[in-house]
Amino acid sequence: MTDRIAHHPAFKFIRSEFIDALNASVQEFEHIVTGAKHFHIASDNDENVFLVGLKTVPTDSCGVAHILEHTVLCGSERFPVRDPFFMMIRRSLNTFMNAFTSSDWTAYPFASKNKKDFHNLLDVYLDAVFFSRLDELDFSQEGHRLEFAEPDNAESDLTFKGVVFNEMKGAMSSTTSVLWQTLTKYLFPSNTYHFNSGGEPTDIPDLSYDDLLAFYRTHYHPSNAVFMTFGDIPADTLQEEFENKVLSRFERLDTQVSVPNAKRYFSPVRVEEGYAADEVKEDGSHVVVGWLLGESTDLTQQFEAQLLSSVLLDNSASPLRRVLENSDLGRAPSPLCGLEDSNKEMSFMCGLEGVKREDSSKVEALIFSSLEEIAEHGVQQDMVDAMLHQLELSQREIGGGSYPYGLQLILAGLSTAVHSGDVIAQLDLDPVIEAMRERVQAQDYIPNLIKSLLLSNAHRVTLTLSPDDALEARRNQAEKDRLCHIKASLSEAEAQQIIARSEALKERQAQVDDMSILPKVGLEDVPARLPEYDREQVAGRLPITFYPQGTNGLVYQQLVVELPELDEEETSYLPLFSSVMTELGVGHQDYLAIQEKQAQVCGGLGASNSIRATINDRQEVKGYFILSSKALVPNVNAMSELLRDTMLNVRFDEENRVKELVAQRRARREQSVTGQGHSLAMAAAASAISGLAAQQEAWGGMSGIRSAIALDDAMKEDSVAVQQVLAVFKRIHSKLLQAKKQMLLVAEAQHEASIMTQVNEVFADLPAGDTDTHFALPAQQGQLKLAWLTSTQVSFCSKAYQTAFGDHPDVAALTVLGGFLRNGFLHRAIREQGGAYGGGATFDGGTGSFRFYSYRDPRLTETLADFDASIEWLLNDAHSDEALEEAILGVIGSMDKPSSPAGEAQSDFYVQLHGRSLAYREAFRAKVLSVTIEQLQQVAKTYLTKENENIAVVSSVTKRDELESLGFDIQSL
């Protein structure tokens, strides 16, 4: 085996295993001198992925690992520029670039389909991680610093600034984040998980620059590192770069970074804390019970915990989830429900949100009585088998979405690798699944797991987290008092040092680096053509489009229904209808039976809507309702029957079930504000631009969240409200049954004939539909200046402008303009100087709107002014061709970003369905590649004007007076 796996002589080969389910070989190596591990997933996939992970173990909540992750990317030995990470984003065709701080590791991953680009990024990442400059001014920018409100005036108020400081203010404005951090603080009383690795805003200012340097020296060393790669570049080629550029300069560390196990409780703990809220609602508490389990590196323990969690909580038919969903003690199951297995020691959690504070003990009692009952009576074997089936599906599926497939595999094994577990076993679950199939046949297997892992486990915490409408004011006052105390104790020399550092940082942020020292790709490296996908279209009563793709034994099936004309009420409830439809009963079976059936035969059912404006008119739309699923090839017939039966016979008489789903949806939507604030602000600002933009905001924006809250409240007060909604659902369903339909199938080519035969037989009695009415939305055009206020410590700002649309010649320049403004002005002004976590500009081709945004922003009016200043900069300053090329590369990179095989097929199907042919997309690509600086300036002059401006912000309730004085229309949830 050693001879067959080529490796660099500085590494020793450990072992290799081909994993059928992944169609890849996982190879393990160790660097002889330093002990650094290298895991390579050898695949014929040309999207190569790199990640270096380091075990990072903070001993407080100052955020040292998180701030270090940011600062490391601010210049290195070979690349001594101020911001190589963001510069490389512009000079690359990467499909992914980022850095992560977890609770016990920090990782630096990237991916690219272009080999030249991959090696460029590898150069920069290796040097950044192991030979970072860690300039003290970068620490001040990224971590925290003191600054006077008027930077050159020592008489003005002191403030805390810093990107991570403001990022964590935003993150810890999320109730879910507070819930998780508070529970783990008590679950892990004695090790690193006790602390907030991202940093508590109250603690971040305690971190010193010397602390940062010391942490870097002990943690950022190859002896504490694991290299993980994926793709078609051989392991020895990668190892040669690791050795030549990093490893040859290090010796093995004598001491090892480790995470000791938490001290165990001998009896359960009950605690209560608060979270910041605008108002104290009687039923505003969260009650969560958490257990500390065994080690995640023990694959048997991990798999047993995963199986138990799935059996108890996977879907509404799961026994513990069913109890939680049906309980009158709370609004919905807690967002923390489930297993956390990324830490060295696993934890299991369950509970309710929307609970009365005095009912905390009742929730705990409900959970325990339910577990005792399940342990006593057992679980149906069908349900256990269904959960094993779901694990097999997840093992076989080639993912896509926001992470490249190779990175998903790497992340699945990263925690195990960091903690010296068996990575190959972690990635090859088939043998474990087979072993479990035998074990679960014992009737007492699941009951025994419940008893041993939960009922008999004394290391248990019950947390009650209750709303506190004075908490934010106390927190703000404490910060103000602290700053006043610091200011009062400053000597004149110390005050001048703060002023001098502010000036030095400002100069550093304004300096123009020599970017030529960084590697780059150019427009000459851009692929000439977009990929063209094979597909077969079969006409008939139910037209079928089949894409032959490498799906690793899975079949993806979608029933696509042309959206008919809907009235205003039906339109308003369309997304709710879609989210609820696959969660209800079908025919004579109730929703519990259908949830079980879905788990047994497929990866669940989902319903969604695809709505886009036509190419020629932003106010005219075309829409489709989509019912979708995926299954292993042997289950195609059963999946098709389930899809057909759901489409034909879905039940709209389960009133209590709909109330539960509405309550759960409300809870998810309320929790999304601080994580998606920039998207919500942009949606609000653009809502005056077209009918589709207005409807998207009403469905998914801040007003959509407010509607979700109002509907849930109405259903709780009056059963008539539920009946009215169900009546609307029935009308929508009736119209969909009469509408035109077609089928999309994605699978491996060799299965096409059998799949098509089965699908045609199953759907023979489905009405094909012949209605000629089409979905439409009323036109919308106007101006707004809107502020949504909520419980948050930071702001999210946006401006939106109505622009050219569709195939208009200006669209290409508008698409490039967003990246050009971000790269050249907005990143520096909003993130580096302003301290926001992020900011930029983007063109939305779906609505024909150009939008500015900021994310987790300590400022408000100053950021809105920076949006305007970026336009002045564009029009009045000289600009380089290189800056233009970088912006164009960014657009092409996002256009060419690969997905999973099934995802790429589905994407191709829908862009063509909406009239964007391959020829149309390639013509647009050519226009993007030929955009000039003069065109950027011309579209800015034409569209980005005060007369065409719409402004929206999501901000704190403490900003009400300021926003009212500026003429904002104030709205609240």
Residue 119 corresponds to which amino acid? H
Separation CA 281–CA 971 (nearest Å) = 19
Q: Are 443 and 378 in contact (CB under 8 A)?
A: yes
Which pairs from 449-453 meet CB under 8 Å and 24+ separation? 449/304, 449/307, 449/308, 450/308, 450/312, 450/371, 450/374, 450/375, 451/375, 453/291, 453/293, 453/304, 453/305, 453/308, 453/348
Q: Tell me which of 47, 69, 660, 697 is the catalytic residue.
A: 69
- The single-letter DSSP state of residue 440 is T
Tokens of 850: 């150009």
- Residue 631: in which H helix or E strand, if any? strand 621-632
Give me the half-sphere count of Cα atoms (radius 13 Å) on the Cβ side of residue 164: 31
Tokens of 60: 């407080």
Task: Report DSSP letters for 232-282, one per residue.
Answer: SS-HHHHHHHHHHHTGGG----SS----PPPPPPSS-EEEEEEEE-SS--T
Instruction: Classify residue 368 as exposed, middle or buried by CB count within 10 Å of its CB (0-12, 13-18, 19+).
Output: middle
Separation CA 639–CA 633 (nearest Å) = 10
- Whole-angstrom distance between the N-terminal and C-terminal Cα of the chain? 63
Distance of alpha carbon 588 from the chain centroid: 38
Length of the chain: 973
Which bin fits 564, alpha (ψ -120 to 50), beta or left (φ > 0)? beta
**Closest C-alpha to 227, from 210, 209, 212, 246:** 246
**Closest C-alpha to 341, from 303, 310, 378, 371:** 303
User: Longest Cα pair distance anywhere in the chain, in angstroms?
Assistant: 86
Instruction: Tell me if residue 69 is catalytic.
Output: yes
**Closest C-alpha to 583, from 481, 657, 533:** 657
Task: Report DSSP letters for 371-413, one per residue.
Answer: HHHHHHH---HHHHHHHHHHHHHHHH----TTS-HHHHHHHHH
Give start and end residues of each alpha helix (H) in 528-602. Answer: 568-572, 574-581, 591-601
From residue 23, how far is each of 2, 417, 429, 664 by CA, in Å? 20, 21, 13, 38
Q: Are 91 and 515 in contact (CB under 8 A)?
A: yes
Q: 868: which residues sit within 8 A by CB, 6+ positions away?
A: none
Separation CA 857–CA 315 (nearest Å) = 37
**Closest C-alpha to 770, from 801, 817, 735, 815:** 735
Q: How large is the C-alpha radius of gyration of the chain?
A: 28
Residue 104 corresponds to which amino acid? D
Task: Please state whether beta strands 105-112 and 849-855 pair in parallel, antiparallel, or not at all (unpaired).
Answer: unpaired
Q: 543: which residues sit within 8 A by CB, 6+ positions away?
A: 537, 742, 743
From residue 489, how far is each of 187, 195, 309, 484, 847 by CA, in Å? 39, 30, 54, 9, 54
**In 10 A of CB 93, how many CB atoms?**
24
> In 67-86, which positions are buried (b, 16+ CB within 10 angstroms) versus exposed (e)?
bbbbbbbbbbeebebbbbbb
Residues identified as active-site: 69
